[in-house]
Structure 1
Amino acid sequence: MTGSLRLFFALWPDESTRKALSAWQSAVSGRKVPPENLHITLAFLGEQPASAVPELSRILEQVSSDAIGLKLDRMGYFSHSRISWAGMKAIPPELTQLYKGLATVLAEKSISYDRRNRFKPHITLARHSSRTETADLKPITWHANHLVLVESRIRQDKKGSHPQYIPVAERMLGN
Structure 2
Amino acid sequence: MRHPTQLSLDGIGAAPLPTDRLFFAILPDADATAHAGLLAQQITAAHGLSGTPLATERLHVTLHHLGDYAGLPQDIVAAAGPALSALRFPPFEVVLDRAMTFGKVGRRPVVLGGHGSGVAGLVAFQQALLAAIGGRASGNFVPHLSLLYDEQAVPEHDVAPITWIAREFVLVHSAINQRKREHETLARWPLRR
> Larger Rg: 1 or 2?
2
Report how far residue 137 of structure 1 moved: 3.2
Structure 2 CA distance for aligned equivalents of residues 87 and 78 of structure 1 = 10
Query: Which sections of structure 2, spanning at least 5 residues, go unmatched?
Result: 1-18
TM-score calculated relative to the size of structure 1: 0.80
Match of 2:65 among 32, 44, 55: 44
**How do residues 142-161 of structure 1 correspond to structure 2 at under 5 angstroms?**
142-154=164-176, 161=179
Name 1:164's counterpart in structure 2. 182
Name 2:5's counterpart in structure 1. none
1:20 equivalent to 2:35? Answer yes
Letter in 1 for 2:22: L
Structure 1 CA distance for aligned equivalents of residues 66 and 26 of structure 2 = 15
Cα RMSD (Å):
2.6
- Measured at CA, do residues 129 and 145 of structure 1 come closer, stay the same or move farther in structure 2, by a change above 3 Å? farther
Post-superposition CA distance 1:43-68 (Å, at most 9, x none): 00113621221211333323321111
Name 1:102's counterpart in structure 2. 129
Letter in 2 for 1:165: H
**Aligned structure 1 segments of 4 or more residues deviating by more than 6 angstroms:** none
1:127 equivalent to 2:174? Answer no
Query: Is 2:98–2:158's contact at 8 Å kept on the other side of the alignment?
Result: no
Name 2:94's counterpart in structure 1. 70
Structure 2 CA distance for aligned equivalents of residues 63 and 169 of structure 1 = 14
Query: Which sections of structure 1, spanning at least 5 residues, go unmatched?
Result: none
Report how far residue 82 of structure 1 moved: 1.5
Structure 2 CA distance for aligned equivalents of residues 101 and 95 of structure 1 = 10
Structure 2 CA distance for aligned equivalents of residues 18 and 129 of structure 1 = 24
Letter in 1 for 2:133: L
Number of corresponding residues: 163
Report how far residue 93 of structure 1 moved: 3.0
Report how far residue 172 of structure 1 moved: 2.1
Report how far residue 36 of structure 1 moved: 0.2
Name 1:173's counterpart in structure 2. 191
More strand by share: 1
**How do residues 72-91 of structure 1 correspond to structure 2 at under 5 angstroms?**
72-80=96-104, 82-90=108-116, 91=118
Query: Is 1:63–1:98's contact at 8 Å kept on the other side of the alignment?
Result: no
Post-superposition CA distance 1:57-114 (Å, at most 9, x none): 333323321111011111111123611001113254332221111111222xxx6x89
Local SS of the residue matching 2:75: helix
